[in-house]
Amino acid sequence: MSDDSDRARTGGYVSAQQVARRAGVSRSAVSRAFTPGASIGKETRDRVLQAAQELGYQVNDLARGLLAKRSTIVGLVGTKPEAGFRAHLVAALAKALIARGSVPVLVNTGDTPPEVEAAQRILLGYRAEATIVMSGSPPAPLIADARRNGQPVVLIGRSDPEVDGILVDNAACAARAATHLAQRGAKRLGLLGSASGTQSIVERETAFREAAAGLGLEVVTARGTDTDYAGGRQAMAELLAGPRPDAVFCVNDLLALGAVDAVRIGAGLRVPEDVAIIGFDDIPEASWDAYRLTTFAQPPEFVAAEAVRLLDRRRADPHAAPLTLRIDADLRLRATA
């Protein structure tokens, strides 16, 4: 019976032994043919590659990693990875990691203790090479367990003196937002934050209030129950229920989009004539004609490239001092401020 008919009958992946039979070589020759730098004659290697192509064979990277005691899995950890900037960051990280030869595995930590425990089991049970934490909300024990088990960790959007990380320069951006709105003539500023209180959000809120105070401007604050569109509409409605601000800084774009609709649809006012609005992240929706949101651009592809660079640095020197990168974000001027 041929290898093709045997596979059709039994199902499953094509094995290296089937490739060896098709090529008329030993099983070890197949292994050498797919191992960079291994000793094998050109004719033998060509026969193996031809047989592999005919059969549709792919190297079992999981088995190879077990033999080498080295995984190619990189865990992407986050709460609500489908939302806002994080969704685009997941896509950029996956693309960058695949180009690196890694296998990205998305782990949604959820909000409950059982969900967090399940995420921990996945990360440690599959012996991931590294863990990239994409938000400020996954609990600290999850990160501590990864580190105790020898997994390099890269934090995005938060910092830890003992772990590599990437943070946008939140303070500089928030101060720039306050200055820009003041230069537009705003006298009373609004701040839309979030009850989630992650490091990035707290930094943006604090720096905006401090910069506004330095400019002699009053700031009134409202916080959404979450950093999403609904939270933005809710928080903006709270601001509009009191003395109306001339301009509002939102700590992310989803909040800002909700704020724009609360002003235009909920209150029947104009943006930016009655209320100017600035967001943060520059998600694709921010440039839609319905919004044309002025916002700070945090390119997910650049963040992903920096995360991979930190992983490679850690692999090359496991004992290097932890490094936190601060990246800038450009103010994209559009129609809302």
Question: Of 142, 182, 183, 180, nearest to 163 (Cα)?
Answer: 142
pLDDT in tens, 253-262: 999 999 999 9
Q: Where in the chain is the domain with CATH 1.10.260.40?
A: 3-59
Tokens describing residue 166: 């990437």
How is domain 70-168+301-327 classified at the CATH fold level?
A: Rossmann fold (3.40.50)
Q: How far is CA 328 from CA 46, 71, 173, 184, 187, in A?
A: 49, 33, 8, 23, 27
Entry pTM: 0.79
- The residue with tokens 């094995």 is 15
DSSP class of residue 319?
T
Q: Where in the chain is the domain with CATH 3.40.50.2300?
A: 70-168+301-327, 170-297
Neighbours of 80 (CB within 10 A): 18
> What distance, in Å, lies between the first and last C-alpha atoms of the chain?
72
pLDDT tens digits, 154-185: 999 888 888 899 999 999 999 999 999 999 99
Helix, coil or strand: residue 331: strand
**Which of helix, strand or coil describes residue 193?**
strand
pLDDT in tens, the chain (337 residues): 455 544 444 456 788 888 899 989 998 888 788 776 788 888 898 888 888 888 887 765 555 554 445 678 898 888 888 888 999 999 999 999 999 989 898 888 766 667 767 777 776 666 778 889 887 655 667 777 777 777 888 999 888 888 899 999 999 999 999 999 999 999 999 999 988 888 899 999 999 999 999 999 989 999 988 889 999 999 999 999 999 999 999 999 999 999 999 999 999 999 999 999 999 999 999 999 999 999 999 999 999 999 999 999 998 998 999 999 999 999 999 999 9
335: closest CA among 299, 266, 298, 286?
286
Domain 3-59 grouped into CATH 2.60.40.650:
no
Torsion angles phi and psi, residue 310, rounded to 5: -65, -40
CATH 3.40.50.2300 for domain 170-297, yes or no, is yes
